[in-house]
Amino acid sequence: MLAFLLVPLVVYAVVVGVFWVLQRDLLYPGAGAARAALRFAAPPSTEAIRIPTADGETLHALWRPPAPGCGVVVTFHGNASVPESHAARFVRAPWQGWGVLAVAYRGYAGSTGRPSEAGLLADGRAALAAAQARAPGAPLLLHGHSLGAALAVAMAAAHPHLGLYLEAPFDSMIAMARLHFPYLPAALLRDTYRSDRLIGAVAGPILIVHGDADPVIPTKFGWRLAQAAPAGTRFRVVPGDHVSLLGKQDREAEALFRARIPAPGCVAG
């Protein structure tokens, strides 16, 4: 009887141990040696650049300078994505005139290092510094999708910016772990991404967009983040899943944030 009771405990302990060891492989599926060796073509009107981080890594990124008077969209991709798709999006209508900086996190295609929460925060700071150095004085609009939304929130809470545009965000990685791994202790998480604790410090307009059929990050988690945000935050639910929602509120977003650019403003387009 004792052996019968111990077997499931041993199995559970093994599962917990495997999760502890492999959790960052699960959290950052777009990273790894195989993905890091990939090369993607820079979208039209952008150029591939290299960005150094304060802790010695080198990041692959896509850059397009803004037209005079316009801002720069600094965009952070999801955990299984690449920056090229975001760079291509923000050089098309309705984003005429805006610059764009889309960065690949450490360990992702073209970048050195291995991902972690502390590492990605360093990547975010390096991206903001690169955008400011390449377009001095241009206001920065921070955008993020999924995991990238957590990075955008952290950057917005600590750095000057024009506004915050989030697609399919979550309130914390702890909540995501409890959703997708309900039988594993969330206390094991090394990277917690507590956007719910940071977004209240964000100044300026915030637009949060969520798909109504998102199986990865259900709508309620975006709503919970919006509830933690400052008054006046806009929350939009659109038809779509975790990926197909992308860009569906771009016209509202572009108009909202363009109106915030100081005189003479962004008139390109």
Residue 101: its pLDDT value, please? 98
Q: Of 8-12, 58-62, 81-85, 232-236, which range is least confident?
A: 8-12
Q: Is there a domain that residue 57 lies in?
A: yes
Q: For 96-142, how does the pLDDT look when each residue is reduced to its tens digit (9 = 90+)? A: 999 999 999 999 999 999 999 999 999 999 999 999 999 999 999 99
Q: Is there a domain that residue 265 lies in?
A: no
Q: Is there a domain that residue 139 lies in?
A: yes
Residue 22: its pLDDT value, please? 59
For residues 202-225, give the mean pLDDT: 97
pLDDT interval class at 189 (50, 70, 90): confident
Q: Is there a domain that residue 53 lies in?
A: yes
- Find the CATH number of the domain harbouring 143: 3.40.50.1820
Residue 15: its pLDDT value, please? 46
Q: Is there a domain that residue 267 lies in?
A: no
Q: Is there a domain that residue 107 lies in?
A: yes
Tally of domains in the chain: 1
Domain residue limits at 244: 2-258
Residue 167: its pLDDT value, please? 98
Q: Is there a domain that residue 268 lies in?
A: no
Residue 17: its pLDDT value, please? 52
Q: Is there a domain that residue 269 lies in?
A: no
Which residues, other chains included, contact 3 with Cβ-Cβ below 8 Å and sequence gap of 6+?
Answer: none
Nearest alpha carbon to residue 40 among 96, 81, 74, 78: 81
**CA dist 20 → 14, 116, 187, 193 (Å):** 10, 14, 10, 17
What average pLDDT is seen over the chain? 90
